[in-house]
Structures are given as C-alpha cells and as structure tokens.
Amino acid sequence: MSTGSVGIIGGGLIGLATAYRLAQAGVDVSVYERDAQLGGLAGTAHLDGIPVDRYYHVVLPTDDRVRGLAAEVGLGDEAFRFRTTRVGFYQQGRLTSMSSARELLTFPGLSAVDRVRLAAFAARCQLKPAYADLDDLSLEEWLRRVCGADLWDRLWRPLLDSKFDGRYDDLPATYLWARTRRMSATRDRAAREVMGTIEGGYQVLIDALAREIRALGGQVHTSTPVLQVPAAGGRALGVVLADGLRRHDWVVTTQLRPALQALLAPELEAVLGPDPNRYLGVVCVVARLRRSISPYYALNITDRRIPLTTVVETTHVIDPQRAGGTLLYVPKYVAPDNPDLERSAADVRREYLGHVRTMFPQLRDADVLATHVARASVAEPIHVLGARRPQPADLFPAAGLATASSAHIYPELVNGQAVLGVAEQLTAGLLERVGGHGARERAA
Ligand SMILES: Cc1cc2nc3c(=O)[nH]c(=O)nc-3n(C[C@H](O)[C@H](O)[C@H](O)COP(=O)(O)OP(=O)(O)OC[C@H]3O[C@@H](n4cnc5c(N)ncnc54)[C@H](O)[C@@H]3O)c2cc1C
C-alpha cells in the first residue's frame, strides 16, 4: 500500500514518466504544470491551428526507453515513422551533402587527408567505450590533436560556434565523444542517418502518459503554477499554489537549476550548493511552407556569415500531410543573455528567415504559410571542464525533496531517451522512500 504522497512540479517528460511509474506502484501522485498544455520542451505549438512540435524532435531507432514506454501506453511500432535522412553542409556560400560514407570521402572543401581524419575520428569515438580520460581534456585541444588544425578551423570551430553561441572554450572532449557515438549508432550500413518520429509528435506520448496516470488514480493539473516549495526544519512541506498549500510527503522539481532559486524556500535552495553548470537557451522560428526547400533533414552551417545553429526540415521524417505542408525549424542556441530572447517575434522571424533565404534563394515570401517563434532562456545544461559531475545522490538533496532535471544526464546528450533514464532513477529512489506496491521487492 502507498505510504505517502508525491507532488511533482512540471508536466514535461520527466514529470509525467515519473508520475506514471509511481501511479502504477499505487503511490498517491499529483503533477502540477504551469502551462495550459503538458509537454514542456517536448510540447506543441500551433501554426494556424495545426499542432506541431514546438521544437524539432526526432526519435532514434536506438531510443529504447522512449519506444518501450510508448509501447506500454499503447503506442507500438506502428505509432513511429522512421526514415533515412540526408545531412547537408552550408560552407563558403555553398550547400553540399554529407549523407553517406561515399559523400564523406568525396566531400569538397576538405583535403583528402582531412576527410580520412574525419572518418577515423567517428570510428575512434564509436570504438572507445569509456570517457574518463576525455573528461579533463578540453574539446578544442582534443580536436586539434586528433583531427589537426585545418579540420578544426574549417569544420569543428564553426560548428561549435553555431551550437554554443560562440563559447566553447570550457567544453570537455566528452561532449563530442558522446554526440558522435549517439549519431553513429543511428546510421545504416551505407552510413546514412535514420531518424524517426512519433506520429503526431511527442505530444501523443505525453497525452497518453497523462491519460494513464489519471486512469491509475493520479492527478494531473494544468494551468497550475507552483509558486513555492515551503520548508520547516529542513524538510519540504508541499507546494504552494494560487489557492494555498498542498501538503506532500515528497516534492519533486523537474526544472533546471536557475528556476529553482525562485521556487524553493531559501533553506532548501541552500542545501543544493553551488551550481556547477552553465546553460544555453534557444530561439526557434517554426515555419510551415508551401513546398520543400531543403533536400536535407538537418543542415550544418560552417559559413559563419549565417548566425544560425541549423535548419531542420522535419517533414523529411514527419508526414507533410499531417503537418499541413513542409515544416521548417530555424533554431539558434543562445547564451541566456542573448538579445534574441527578448526581441520582437516579428524581428526574429524576419532575420532568421532572411538567413534561410540566403542559403535557399528559391524560398519566396508566398511560400511561407504560417510561422511561430518559440523561445526558452534556459533549455540545456552545459557541463563545463573541471566542474563537479552529477551524482545519483543529487536527486535527493533534502528531506521530502527530490530535484530531477536534464542536468542529471551525463555524459549522454540531453534528449527524450536520456531524460527517461533520469525518470527511472528518480522513480526507484522515490519508491524506496515512499513505499508503493513492489517497493520492498525492488529494494531487495
Ligand atoms: C531545440 C530543442 C530540440 C530538441 N530535440 C530533441 C530531439 O530531437 N529528440 C529528443 O529526444 N529530445 C530533444 N530535445 C530535448 C527534450 O525536449 C528534453 O530533453 C525534454 O523535453 C526535457 O523534459 P523535462 O521534463 O526534463 O523538462 P521540461 O520539458 O522543461 O519540463 C519542465 C516542465 O515544468 C514546467 N514548469 C516550470 N516551472 C513550473 C512551475 N513553477 N510550476 C509548474 N510547472 C512548472 C514547465 O512548463 C515544463 O512543462 C530537444 C530540446 C530542444 C530545446
């Protein structure tokens, strides 16, 4: 039998996956989501009334946690759509494909030696199972040593510049090792990337989880911001909502650390200690177009006259009919003080689509059917060189309080697969503390 109640702040993937497992174990669980819609970063935007992913989201064939959880809530393999995709580069004012092993070995703009070095680098990451020796090594130093100065200047430096808003000096080599391993594992025999989507977007999984939680007796509240987590004697007491305190034996936060300052009572915030990470935000123009403009799912931009992170035409994977046309995502990862987070949506849209037009001159104003500008000032944690790495015990920093977020993921990259791993760890720890059917068996 359940021995305690759990209040979870945030109806994103971590919050809902954890609530689902707790509800299955008979725990009295309530999710509080401030927005009218569930999903958080994996949620939905509306383009002229048609729901689309707010940010581009793929599922890789190797994302077994996502596929397993989806199958449990009734979304089997038929709910997924996988496609072989092409990857492009925009370099020195030209678009080039690098979508297969053959294209890598004939890639223009790189010397024959550098092409071989690049292929060897990917193989090296795949074959290297452990990362301890990379964690104290600067990414730039590693890349210069392994790939050479030319490949660093022509490829890696501009790519890191575009992904990290100009600041990559404090990144450990582990970052690119983990990224290369994840992407290499999704390639087919011809080294073409295979990407997938849940038909209807991650929102379909989110909604199915919410439905199951409610069916199991849990509560999921939307438009319900938590104002504070109060404490007494070092213990979290519950959540303060607009209409007062709801007591819980355990409160779970699922936000990144910068949001916890306002949320947690000072005595709870104090036990967290200094934050070892920095963060990136994201600004993303989503456009529905009359027709496809890019043959690539994703575009790597090494020509830094274009200050975007990438251009992603998700309808190379998503069914364009379902999306009401071609869906183009034009994102820029930004430092939390980047002015694009505050500029008017019209300005951002004009500038970002202007850059797209420079790369794809065939794009006409009349091709753009609808747009939306999505922004988050804190979207992704950056684990910097020399900083403390996340430990399992960090999930339970104080009596009655669990803090779980994508900052607990390391060394994997932040994505749905990895955040579900955090949710699994969190659930196991909560069940040991709260009880629930099967908790004793699990602990044994
Ligand atoms: C641009 C971009 C592209 C991405 N692409 C992919 C991809 O292709 N594949 C993939 O697997 N993953 C991708 N991800 C990552 C994925 O979206 C995240 O890892 C995941 O959604 C994080 O879930 P979460 O629950 O940790 O956090 P969040 O989604 O941030 O959820 C936290 C929730 O807490 C709520 N909240 C905040 N404050 C309060 C409060 N005071 N009271 C109540 N509720 C509150 C928020 O509204 C939010 O719903 C991408 C992310 C971004 C930004």
Domain ranges of the chain: 5-44+201-276+385-443, 100-191, 194-199+278-382
Which of 41, 165, 408 has most ligand 1 atoms within 8 Å of its beta carbon, as the pocket-test mutant? 41
* pLDDT at res. 442: 44
Residue ID of nearest Cα to ligand 1 atom 49: 40
Ligand 1 atom nearest to 63, measured from its CA: 11
Q: Find tokens 């000096």 and name the residue.
A: 169
Please determine whether the domains at 5-44+201-276+385-443 and 100-191 fall in the same fold group of CATH: no
**Three-class SS state of 360:** coil
Reading the block at residue 130, the tokens are 């452990």
* pLDDT at res. 3: 62
* pLDDT at res. 438: 53
Q: Do residues 130 and 174 touch, judged by C-beta distance below 8 A?
A: no
Count of helices and strands (H, E) across the chain = 15, 20
Instruction: Going residue by residue through the chain, which has 444 residues, state the pLDDT in tens, using 9 for 90 and above.
Output: 446 899 999 999 999 999 999 999 999 999 999 999 999 999 999 999 999 999 999 999 999 999 999 999 999 999 999 999 999 999 999 999 999 988 988 999 899 999 999 999 999 999 999 999 999 999 999 999 999 999 999 999 999 999 999 999 999 999 999 999 998 888 888 889 999 999 999 999 999 999 999 999 999 999 999 999 999 999 999 999 999 999 999 999 999 999 999 999 999 999 999 999 999 999 999 999 999 999 999 999 999 999 999 999 999 999 999 999 999 999 999 999 999 999 999 999 999 999 999 999 999 999 999 999 999 999 999 999 999 999 999 999 999 999 999 999 999 999 999 999 999 999 999 999 998 775 444 443
Residue 362 CB coordination number (10 Å): 10
Alpha-carbon gap, residue 225 to 7, rounded angstroms: 12
Cα 282 to middle of ligand 1, angstroms: 12
Query: What architecture (CATH level 2) is domain 5-44+201-276+385-443?
Result: 3-Layer(bba) Sandwich (3.50)
* pLDDT at res. 189: 81
Domain 194-199+278-382, CATH: 3.90.660.10
* Helices 13-24 and 416-434, axial angle in degrees (round to 10): 40
* pLDDT at res. 424: 98
Alpha-carbon gap, residue 427 to 223, rounded angstroms: 25
Helix extents (H) in 133-288: 139-147, 149-151, 157-163, 174-184, 202-215, 257-263, 266-271
Residue 304 CB coordination number (10 Å): 13
Evaluate: CB of 34 within 6 angstroms of ligand 1. yes
* pLDDT at res. 4: 87
* pLDDT at res. 314: 98
Torsion of CA 361, 45, 99, 415, to 10 degrees: 150
* pLDDT at res. 2: 46
Domain 100-191, CATH: 1.10.3110
